[in-house]
Amino acid sequence: MNKSDNIILGKQGEEQAVNYLQKNGYIILDKRWKYKRFEIDIIAKNHNTLIFLEVKTRRNPIISINDIVSNAQKDRIINTAHHYILSNEIDLNIRFDLIYIDYTQKTFNLKHFKEFFTPYFD
């Protein structure tokens, strides 16, 4: 697998995630929203909750779902989400979810982990 194959698979996984979310009543507000060098894969709304979603698509099975998003990546997502909230003057409940897509059998098997992580404050 080369880098462009991984990029293509990642974009296909994000499309699968968007379709899943829309079928389940989520409103997609943004895809690949950027702040500086950082990006949030999908930003959606469900009822009175704004959801920031990280999408991970993998060809190889993972050992632990908890290790799929590093603490540094969580920090970047939280920081980027903060700027999204400020720039759009959002006043909703906030949630950080993970959509994990297993592509080991050449089919997209999606799992949605709601409240995958929460912002923490020192």
27-70: pLDDT as tens digits: 999 999 999 999 999 999 999 999 999 999 988 877 788 888 98
Continuous H helices in the chain: 3-23, 71-87
- Separation between Cα atoms, residue 62 and residue 25, nearest integer Å: 29
Based on DSSP, count helices (H) and strands (E) in the chain, helices before strands: 2, 5
pTM of the shown model: 0.91
Helix, strand, coil: what percent of the chain each, to 5?
35, 40, 30
Residue 96: its H or E element: strand 93-102
